Copies of this chain bind each other. A is one copy, B any other.
Amino acid sequence: MSKIAVLGYGVVGSGTVELFYKNKDKFNKKIGKDLDIKYILEIRDFSDSPYASKFTKNIDDILNDDEVTIVAEVMGGVTFAYDYVKKCLEHGKTVVTSNKELVAKKGAELLKIAKEKGCNFLFEASTGGAIPIIRPLHQCLAANDITAIAGILNGTTNFILTKMINEQMSFEDALAMAQKLGYAERDPAADVEGHDACRKICILASLAFGKHVYPDWVYCEGITKLTLEDVKYAENWGGAVKLIGSVKKCADGKILPMVRPAFVCANNQLSHISDVFNGIMVYGDAVDEVMFYGRGAGKLPTASAIVADIIDAAKMEGTSVSQTWEDSADNSFIADYKDDVVSVYVRVKGVSKDKVSEVFGNVEYLSRENQPSDELAFVTEAMPERSFDEKLASLGGEVLGKIRVLELE
């Protein structure tokens, strides 16, 4: 029967092996197969592990073993992972992965190889961790014309924002706490600058709209400039600041993917998602809106998605799934975010309300406790971002903050 190789024995790799053996009998019975892990590829030494006999340092052991039909890549990074995954697919082995960087940067190419070789490249674990989103988006919402997707796609930044919102911690203190709890890396740039969320929205956009969206093509703004004052004004406005990765279909047929902090209205479910949880809202012409919520990272939650893909791969053995997209030669199908029509929250010092009216026309003023007399905060009416920029440049004073309002419909 199908033998499995696991590439990498870090947090997700060891979680995958642990979960696999914990519930193996149950799912093998359900699918009527006898799945087992034959190899674990890892350069470090695990000779005292109960799985010691399965460890190998040589990818060729796996590539040349015809019994191995499914490979779980949980190493992370692109250099080695790309090389190994490509070789496995070229050998006709189905690959499942949690590696969002790999899928976001090399997805189209790897999907093409899988199709040619009649195997599959599956990546449920790459986006939303434990949350079923890749397969539901492709399969359960297949009857829909998808119009937009918006999600809280990074648990670390959502934890930081939750601390800022609920406990009035500063960004710096909340980040330090996230690092202490192991949610954030010592170099937190990938999270707080939005790159991690960007890779995930690239994967969702590629899958929903059928053409590879490369991370370099996506406007990406993180949360490092957010202040407690912004958070307070958002509350007064009637919502919360969240880091949102989104993609929407524009009137001209282009799509607009983007990552940025946004004011999210309280009646949008995304505003209620706290701590390290993720949530992904999908908008379609038939479903209206559906949301998927859960743990976006972590050892067992990510392993849950990896093992589900392994089970699926075993069930589908010998067939190639339609869950795929094409490569895109250039970014001409990506809209310019400066043309997007948005309302924007602005916090400014040393400007009169008369001047604001003169420049922006009608705005909604916000207030906060201990608001200095020379500080104004307001939300503009919707306008192309390019016009907003011009107006803001002519406002004068000192701009202390600006955050877009989330509006997808």
A-side interface residues toward B, CB under 8 Å? 19-20, 22-23, 26-27, 30-32, 124, 130-132, 135-136, 139-145, 210, 267, 269, 272-274, 284-295, 300-301, 303-308, 310-312, 315, 322
Contacts of A141 in B (CB 8 A): 132, 304, 308
- Contact assessment for A130 and B300 in the assembled complex, using a CB-CB cutoff below 8 Å: no
Max count, chain B CB within 10 A of own CB: residue among A30, A286, A291, A295: A286
- Contact assessment for A132 and B130 in the assembled complex, using a CB-CB cutoff below 8 Å: no
**What residue in chain B is nearest A274 (Cβ atoms)?**
B267
**What residue in chain B is nearest A26 (Cβ atoms)?**
B145
18 contacts between A and B (CB under 8 A): A27-B143, A30-B142, A124-B140, A130-B286, A132-B136, A140-B308, A141-B304, A141-B308, A143-B304, A143-B310, A269-B269, A285-B300, A286-B301, A287-B294, A287-B304, A290-B295, A291-B292, A292-B293
**What residue in chain B is nearest A273 (Cβ atoms)?**
B269
Given the interface pairs A141-B132, A322-B315, the reply to whether A291 lies near B288 with Cβ below 8 Å is no
A225 to B124, CA, bound (A): 44
* Min CB gap A140→B, angstroms: 3
**What residue in chain B is nearest A282 (Cβ atoms)?**
B294
Given the interface pairs A136-B140, A293-B293, A304-B141, the reply to whether A322 lies near B288 with Cβ below 8 Å is no
* Min CB gap A35→B, angstroms: 11
A132 to B131, CA, bound (A): 12
A284 to B19, CA, bound (A): 12
- Contact assessment for B300 and A286 in the assembled complex, using a CB-CB cutoff below 8 Å: yes
- Contact assessment for A304 and B322 in the assembled complex, using a CB-CB cutoff below 8 Å: no
Copy count, this protein chain: 2
- Contact assessment for A286 and B19 in the assembled complex, using a CB-CB cutoff below 8 Å: yes
Residue in contact with A287 in the complex, picked from B130, B135, B269, B291, CB distance below 8 Å: B130
- Contact assessment for A23 and B322 in the assembled complex, using a CB-CB cutoff below 8 Å: no
**What residue in chain B is nearest A299 (Cβ atoms)?**
B286
Contacts of A144 in B (CB 8 A): 23, 304
Contacts of A293 in B (CB 8 A): 269, 290-293
A139 to B293, CA, bound (A): 17
Given the interface pairs A143-B311, A311-B143, the reply to whether A290 lies near B23 with Cβ below 8 Å is no
- Contact assessment for B285 and A22 in the assembled complex, using a CB-CB cutoff below 8 Å: yes
**What residue in chain B is nearest A24 (Cβ atoms)?**
B143
- Contact assessment for B290 and A130 in the assembled complex, using a CB-CB cutoff below 8 Å: yes
- Contact assessment for A143 and B290 in the assembled complex, using a CB-CB cutoff below 8 Å: no
A141 to B305, CA, bound (A): 7
* Min CB gap A300→B, angstroms: 4
**What residue in chain B is nearest A19 (Cβ atoms)?**
B286
**15 additional contacts (CB under 8 A) given A23-B145, A141-B304, A142-B312:** A23-B143, A23-B144, A23-B286, A132-B141, A135-B136, A136-B140, A269-B272, A269-B273, A272-B272, A285-B300, A287-B304, A288-B294, A290-B295, A291-B292, A291-B293
- Contact assessment for A142 and B322 in the assembled complex, using a CB-CB cutoff below 8 Å: no
* Min CB gap A84→B, angstroms: 23
* Min CB gap A323→B, angstroms: 10
Residue in contact with A27 in the complex, picked from B136, B142, B294, B311, CB distance below 8 Å: B142
- Contact assessment for B140 and A135 in the assembled complex, using a CB-CB cutoff below 8 Å: yes
